[in-house]
């Protein structure tokens, strides 16, 4: 009987320790613990208050993309605080805009530029592309490409484009060649695009853990020989 009681106590002890580690922002084994790729995160108001002093102390996270805006009027309420503190604690920072294909393109650009100020950026701007807005693919792509060009002209450099594997395969093949891509696919398998095109970064989980953030967080990493220099913001 004593043997079984001891075994039960041991199991409970391990379970408690594991739960404690997760609640403090740790998993036992994470991708960045087992490889040499350059890793980073992206954040928005969904993560709530971020304790940047702890995030900055985690040297495995080299960069962060912060949600700045969405559509023509929405501004992420945590953006201003997050970009200030992310810089203060040593991360390389970029900003992204969630694209709404039915919303006036000039208004979207103006909204993004009101927050994504060149002097605050370490990384090229990113456009988050996840929805067609109910438009047919050709109409959607026409709107998207026009917006990409507006962003490129405004910042005088090509933006990083973020989308999912399936969304790219269904709507974007051959439409956005020449632009760096971050591809989201939450699995152990490296994404493979239908046209076999190269991409710069892989967002491999939406359930990452990191000390200083009390919720799940999106994590990404560079692919192959790609590196930070490819997405550095050029200050003219």
Q: Other C-beta atoms within 10 Å of 88: how many?
A: 11
CA distances from 109 to 59, 73, 126, 162, 180 (A): 33, 10, 12, 17, 19
Alpha helices in the chain (DSSP H): 2-23, 52-57, 79-88, 105-115, 137-155, 165-167
- 207: helix, coil or strand? strand
Q: What is the pLDDT of residue 60?
A: 83
Outline where DSSP puts E strands in 159-200. Answer: 160-164, 181-184
Of 14, 122, 117, 78, residue with least CA distance to 213: 78
| β partners of residue 70 | 74, 98
With a CB cutoff of 8 Å and minimum separation 6, the contacts of 193 are 165, 168, 169, 173, 183, 199
| pTM for the model | 0.86
Question: How far is residue 38 CA from its own chain's centroid?
Answer: 13
Per-residue pLDDT of the chain (236 residues; tens, 9 = 90+): 544 444 443 434 333 333 434 444 344 356 666 677 899 999 999 998 999 999 988 668 899 999 999 999 999 999 999 999 999 999 999 999 999 999 999 999 999 999 999 999 999 999 999 999 999 999 999 999 999 999 999 999 999 999 999 999 999 999 999 999 999 999 989 999 999 999 999 999 999 999 999 999 999 999 999 999 999 999 99
Q: What is the pLDDT of residue 37?
A: 85
Q: What is the pLDDT of residue 34?
A: 60
With a CB cutoff of 8 Å and minimum separation 6, the contacts of 154 are 109, 113
């Amino acid at each position: 009987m004593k043997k079984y009681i001891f075994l039960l106590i041991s199991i409970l002890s391990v379970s408690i320790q594991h739960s404690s580690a997760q609640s403090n922002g740790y998993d036992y084994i994470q991708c960045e613990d087992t490889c040499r790729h350059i890793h980073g995160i992206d954040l928005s108001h969904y993560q709530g208050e971020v304790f940047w002093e702890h995030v900055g102390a985690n040297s495995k996270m080299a960069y962060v993309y912060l949600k700045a805006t969405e559509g023509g009027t929405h501004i992420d309420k945590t953006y201003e605080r997050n970009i200030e503190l992310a810089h203060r604690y040593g991360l390389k920072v970029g900003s992204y805009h969630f694209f709404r294909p039915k919303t006036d393109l000039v208004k979207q650009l103006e909204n993004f530029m009101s927050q994504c100020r060149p002097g605050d950026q370490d990384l090229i701007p990113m456009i988050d592309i996840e929805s067609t807005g109910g438009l047919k693919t050709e109409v959607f792509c026409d709107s998207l490409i026009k917006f990409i060009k507006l962003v490129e002209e405004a910042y005088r450099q090509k933006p990083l484009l973020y989308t999912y594997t399936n969304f790219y395969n269904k709507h974007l093949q051959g439409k956005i060649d020449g632009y760096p891509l971050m591809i989201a696919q939450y699995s152990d398998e490296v994404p493979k695009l239908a046209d076999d095109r190269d991409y710069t970064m892989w967002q491999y989980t939406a359930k990452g853990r990191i000390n200083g953030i009390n919720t799940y967080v999106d994590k990404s990493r560079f692919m192959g020989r790609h590196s930070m220099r490819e997405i550095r913001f050029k200050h003219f």
